[in-house]
Structure 1
Amino acid sequence: MLNFILIVVFLITGLILQKVSFIPAKFATYLNNYLIYIVLPALALKYLPGVELKFELLLPIGSAWISFALSWIIFGSLGKYLKWSDGLTGCLIITAGLANTSFVGFPIVKALYGEEAVKIALLIDQAGSFIIVSSVAVVVASIYSVGKKRKRDVTKKILTFPPFIFFILAMAMNISSLETPALILPVLDVVAATLTPIALTAVGLQVKISMASISSKYLWMGLAYKLVLIPLVIFVLYAFVFELKGMMLKVSVIEAAMAPMITGSIIAITHDLEPKLASLLVGVGIPLSFLTIAVWYFILG
């Protein structure tokens, strides 16, 4: 319950700060840069070296990868067919393709299914969502934000992007069975703890809710994919094709049904991929997801 209260508090804080005259015009940009250049690298070092990939958990973990891959296929194809701008296409791929599997996901999973279910949710988040947002999402953002620049420039942008560098470092540590030095863990804990308040405040600063924005077909296309289509795909695929049952099925579907990931929206915003839409997908998606998740919980039984 505390996490839900904090979501509302920090989103409202960001909305209020929009009206404060002495707040710098680029304050949201400063917060976004802090998240990208400080928090994401810290999270990579904190979590990824210790991720344990077990064969029997590949299906739950795979739900996050399926969600992002299908988002790329659907919105990438629609973008070409309907001649959307690269910014719009990239925004929908990233923001609708990534679920808020941690800050919103963990407390909801725990409340619905108990402590054991959180262990499955943790792997979905760390081996799924977090790896995607640290690597593949960065690649997508770079591709859709550079227009007609050369492939060499795209590659350079990806390889010099701090979250991607630290993702590679952390995964190399994982493969080599190297742990993050205990000396820096307290620092990483402090930095990681700032993710939620800073990210939600940044989103609130950038959300401009109006009748025009709420009526945007792109907002509802993104939320329809994230809250309805992808959990339906995971449910049908896992329950009837792979015949997954019990807790693993329930957690996989519920985590897939979470609202768009805050960090994913920050990636889109910092690459100038329709920042207003990216903020709206999170700002509207989080409260709306509480209703749609209740429906999925009822369906799962």
Structure 2
Amino acid sequence: MQNLLIIVVCMSLGYLLQKTKKFPDNAAQTLNLYIIYVSVPAVIFLQIPKIQLGWSALIPASAAWILLILSALLTRFAARFFSWSKAEEGCLMLLIPLGNTSFLGLPLLDATLGKEALPIGLLYDQFGSFIALSTYGMWVLATYSGEKASAKEAIKKVLSFPPFICIFLALALTGVNYPSWAESILSRLADTLVPVVIVAVGLQWQFKTDNSHIGAISFALLIKLMLLPALTFATLSLFGDLDLTDKVTILQAGMSSMITAGALASSHQLAPRMSAAIVGYGILISLITVPMWHSIIT
């Protein structure tokens, strides 16, 4: 409860700072850079070497891609059935398959399952959501907004992303015991992840929509926050009792829509007001649904 309270307080502070304009306009982007270059690498080097690598390590990343394909197909079918516009369909094709498994996912995993869940959450995020954004996301933009996507640029973006590089470096350190001073430094830097990232999310929190998008928004939130984690829970339960990897995968499957995906939808005129509403309301509702799923699976 205390960890969830920290998230609520930091989110509220970020939103308050946004509304009072006490921070520069680019404050959220600056904090995001700190997270990418400092906080997340510290978490990676602190936690990834502790992972016991085995077949179970494939579950988070493979689940992310399976859910992406299923949700994209379902969204495509729903768009045809409800006769949504091309812009609305493109927006949903970005925001339903791509989850906020890093900036929101990691703090919520920390709050519900503890720090031992973070390395598994990072596998889901980096080998699932992040690569999907750089590949599938670029395909969606090319298809629905007319922007040409370069495979070379997508690959370059993935291979040069600091946390992605750090994961491979940290895996090479599996079994290595850090000196106490090094572990202390990494731990202190890793502890900055939750407050900084949640304040950054609050600084970007938006609620903009109109009644014409209510149906599509409701569909997106229902699929993202309820159906996908339910499917993941049902599937993994078929294989026996849920372990930590299974629980992390279920919670990551139920995270709200990715903020970066929403920003891309808005910047490419794919129903910008709808994308802001899905991201904004999704974050708010996920503060209820993720703990709810946690209570169900534990």
Shorter-chain-normalised TM-score: which range?
Answer: 0.7 to 0.9
Give the Å deviation of 1:216. Answer: 4.4
- Percent identical among aligned pairs is 22
* Matches of 1:165 and 1:221, distance apart in 2: 36
Alignment check: 8 A CA contact 2:47 2:116 kept: no
Q: Which residue of 2 aligns with 1:49?
A: 49
Q: 1:63 to 1:151 in 2, by over 3 A?
A: closer
Alignment check: 8 A CA contact 1:37 1:162 kept: yes
Q: Paired residues, what number?
A: 273
Of 195, 198, 218, 1:200 maps to 198
Alignment check: 8 A CA contact 1:41 1:166 kept: yes
Per-residue CA distance 1:224-261 (angstroms, 9 max, x = gap): 2343223332343234x42x13xx36994586146855
Give the Å deviation of 1:218. Answer: 4.9
Secondary structure in 2 aligned to 1:184? Answer: helix
* Amino acid corresponding to residue 127 of structure 2 in structure 1: S
Q: Which residue of 1 aligns with 2:130?
A: 138
Q: 1:86 to 1:210 in 2, by over 3 A?
A: closer
Q: Which runs of 5+ in 1 are unaligned?
A: 110-117
Q: 1:279 to 1:46 in 2, by over 3 A?
A: farther
Secondary structure in 2 aligned to 1:104? Answer: helix
Q: Which structure 2 residues correspond to residues 160-239 of structure 1 after superposition, within 5 A?
A: 160-174=160-174, 177-180=175-178, 182-210=180-208, 212=210, 216-239=214-237
1:64 aligns with 2:60: yes
Give the Å deviation of 1:202. Answer: 1.3
* Amino acid corresponding to residue 139 of structure 1 in structure 2: I
Q: Which runs of 5+ in 2 are unaligned?
A: 80-85, 143-147, 267-274
Q: 1:66 to 1:154 in 2, by over 3 A?
A: closer
> Could you tell me the TM-score, scaled by structure 2's length?
0.73
1:75 aligns with 2:71: yes
Alignment check: 8 A CA contact 2:251 2:290 kept: yes
Point out the more displaced range, 4-13 or 80-89: 80-89
Give the Å deviation of 1:197. Answer: 0.9
Of 94, 98, 115, 1:90 maps to 94
Per-residue CA distance 1:125-155 (angstroms, 9 max, x = gap): 423x211212332221212247423211211
Q: Over aligned residues, Cα RMSD in angstroms?
A: 3.7
* Matches of 1:201 and 1:236, distance apart in 2: 34
Of 258, 280, 283, 1:265 maps to 258
* Matches of 1:165 and 1:229, distance apart in 2: 32
* Amino acid corresponding to residue 126 of structure 1 in structure 2: P
Alignment check: 8 A CA contact 2:11 2:202 kept: yes
* Matches of 2:253 and 2:6, distance apart in 1: 16
Of 250, 258, 276, 1:256 maps to 250
Give the Å deviation of 1:73. Answer: 0.4
Alignment check: 8 A CA contact 1:99 1:256 kept: no
Give the Å deviation of 1:65. Answer: 3.7
